Structure 1
């Protein structure tokens, strides 16, 4: 396993590798710069491995937890076709989570950890899931909003990593992004039906957008680096796991979706929103990043309920895991 310390260099905190690993590190970075894909059994710096584990496990758990807000609307969908559509979407999201946790499991193998440990990390609060999935889905319009704008934001974030340097993650993302496009179209179909519906339906849609807007702005994370030393953004960019910064991704989201929102006659609950021609970007009121940090600490509106639902599912399906295990554990 790689041994390194952290040192200050050029105002940034960087890993200083032991002499025996420095040559491996330089060869590794040459592969990264050349656009080669790193595989699970290749040598990699500990910083790279740990960054991937945190990113992919959070992504995988968020896919699983992200199915829960829409799952609430499976029995309440207004038509049979809508019910079938949202059931298929929930199934896809759970599949994405399982695929990603399998990728993370390979990275954790040197530590003797398996996928089950990630579920335990989620339940004890050590593994976070995305801020948007702590939010309530109060109306059918919310189910559409998740598919249209939340999944739309996810597509922008994930396509930013479609050429990620870690091969297993990059290949998983290719499959996931292809399916997410259908999810976004599913959400857009719900939104369009409501936008073209009655005054009551249009008001329900506007109310939903008003509730979801702060969470959508928070989706990509803080734009400014608020910590000293290397940030997660810098590390993932250095290793060519991602290309764009949080703010660049947020601007891409606003570029794509604000014109569509306005074309439906909807308004944004922020009077400061406008496009600054001089700066070439959208201006908006900064969300409450303190609130964001509290939400991802499992202090959001639906955090406890969704975690409890996951815990119940984990316990009720324990017998399945035991049946599939080579040496079932009897309790």
Structure 2
């Protein structure tokens, strides 16, 4: 029994569910069940650090962009991604405060390897086509995931996503512009796009997570749907991605590396070759192609800028 309210935990939970089922937004200072808070902390912290780590593959292309216009475009995109990360970490801080934790704990968990960041940002980006594909397909996948949470029951996250999704649309257009320019170029340039698609395809399928908890032992998607943080399952989001982008890839005369890929008219869903989910677990455990180097870069930057945090604190 809560002395302040005179309500049992079960009664408070019932009232909480009534609120979110009625479409009300939960705010940072509102009562919330522990599993709701922890699901939000895990989701928003991972989203925040993924935005920060996600700037690194494209940061590598800032000095190598093929023109001044492209350089300015990718620099602006990197700045946006870092801004998204800071915005999301601020949202996570309010959830962590009652637990006696804050932003520094999030960053320390990332640098120690305790907090995962998105699988796609562990991958290599060896050509200019990779820089374009990240904007076109990776950010395209992110838009599908994030717009699914624009109506999230947690108000601060839903409001942050309004800004983030609006900017991600520009990022996807930026990436598509790079891809279209290459597609209209030489055979070598078209080959660069195809090579990038071939390398990134498994990661793009993994982007949305496994269809069932049995694959990873996690029931996060069930909790987020239960509490109306999102409305669609991992597999529904993946199907949305395939429906949107397979026709676009084919329209450029390009292919995806999956001979089994087809649309089942009866089931109204895409049939595709499952990625290697054991490889997914390995990658998000910081054993991907560029996990070590990108984490080390972030550790170095965090240490070198400690004086700024002290001055602001």
Which TM class, normalised by the smaller chain length? over 0.9
Partner residue of 1:182?
170
Match of 2:151 in 1: 163
Runs (4+) of structure 1 moved beyond 2 Å?
227-230
Q: Are the structure 2 counterparts of residues 26 and 229 from structure 1 closer, same or farther at C-alpha, using a change threshold of 3 Å?
A: farther
Q: Are 2:245 and 1:265 equivalent residues in the alignment?
A: no
Say which structure is richer in helix: 2
Cα displacement string for residues 76-112 of structure 1 (whole angstroms, at most 9, x for unaligned residues): 0000000000000000000000000000000000111
Query: Where in structure 1 are there 5+ consecutive unaligned residues?
Result: 3-18, 326-331
C-alpha separation in 1, matches of 2:42 and 2:212? 20
Equivalent residue for 2:183, pick from 189, 192, 195: 195
**How far apart in 2 are the matches of 1:253 and 1:92?**
23
Deviations 1:216-244 (A, max 9, x none): 00000001230799821111001000000
The CA distance in 1 between the partners of 2:215 and 2:275, in whole Å, is: 18
The DSSP-based 3-state class of the residue aligned with 1:257 is helix
Q: Output the aligned Cα RMSD.
A: 1.5
For the Cα contact (< 8 Å) 2:28–2:94, is it kept in 1? yes
Correspondence for 2:281 among 273, 288, 293: 293
Aligned to 1:282, what secondary structure does the other structure show? strand
8 Å contact from structure 2 (residues 73, 174) kept in 1: yes
Which residue of 2 is the match for residue 204 of structure 1? 192
The answer to whether residue 309 in structure 2 is matched with residue 315 in structure 1 is: no
Unpaired segments of 5 or more residues in structure 2? Answer: none
Q: How does 1:98-247 map to 2 (within 5 A)?
A: 98-226=86-214, 231-247=219-235
SS in 2 for 1:275: strand
- When normalised by structure 2's length, the TM-score is 0.97
Question: Against the structure 1 CA distance between its residues 275 and 317, is the aligned structure 2 distance closer, same or farther, given a 3 Å change threshold?
Answer: same
Q: Deviation per CA, 1:160-207, whole angstroms, max 9, x where unpaired? A: 000000000000000000000000000000000000000110001100
CA distance in 1, matches of 2:58, 2:19: 41
The one-character-per-residue Cα deviations of 1:289-315 (angstroms, maximum 9, x if unpaired) are 000000000000000000000001001
Give me the whole-angstrom Cα distance separating, in 2, the residues matched to 1:213 and 1:22: 45
Normalising by structure 1, what TM-score? 0.91
Contact 2:26 / 2:154 at 8 angstroms: preserved in 1?
Answer: yes
